């Protein structure tokens, strides 16, 4: 997956702003060349009862998908933060992940982004995340 430094900084800012709770958002772009993120869209986290979980607003998803389609793009995945936890998928992430979607996970410690990884649920075999190469371009 490829993302620009400027877009990644938007994800970092979102994770910092919501710390110590998880942030959630959409990755909009195309699946060409291993996935290219052209835009990130902040989403609302409907899970307010636990800071270490997120839940997407279905109405937001429909709107983001509609806007992406009008721009000739598509929702290729999602991003979220892991406050004070590594940037690796949790068991909860595995259970709720959509096959074929990219997942960008940002580890945020003490309100500062620490690292970022990209993942996708494998299409074959047991349901599990496979780490994807992440290219950050200027």
What is the domain-level CATH number for residue 24?
3.40.140.10
Which pLDDT tens digits describe the chain residue by residue (138 residues)?
999 999 999 999 999 999 999 999 999 999 999 999 999 999 998 888 888 888 899 999 999 999 999 999 999 999 999 999 999 999 899 888 998 999 999 999 999 999 999 999 877 766 789 999 999 999
pTM of the full structure: 0.94
User: Which structural domain range is residue 83 located in?
Assistant: 2-137
Residues in the chain: 138
- Cα separation of 119 and 128, whole Å? 10
Count of domains in the chain?
1
Residue 101 tokens read as 């979607």
């Amino acid at each position: 997956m490829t993302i620009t430094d400027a877009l990644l900084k938007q994800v970092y800012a979102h994770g910092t702003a919501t710390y110590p709770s998880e942030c959630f958002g959409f990755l909009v772009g195309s699946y060409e060349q291993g996935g290219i993120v052209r835009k990130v869209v902040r989403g609302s986290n409907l899970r307010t009862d636990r800071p270490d979980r997120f839940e997407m607003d279905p109405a937001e998803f429909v709107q983001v998908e509609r806007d992406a389609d009008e721009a000739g793009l598509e929702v290729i995945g999602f991003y979220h933060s892991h406050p004070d936890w590594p940037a690796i998928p949790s068991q909860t992430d595995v259970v709720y992940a959509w096959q074929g979607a990219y997942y960008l996970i940002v580890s945020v410690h003490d309100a500062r982004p620490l690292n970022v990884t990209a993942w996708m649920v494998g299409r074959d075999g047991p349901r599990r995340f496979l780490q994807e190469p992440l290219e950050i371009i200027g």
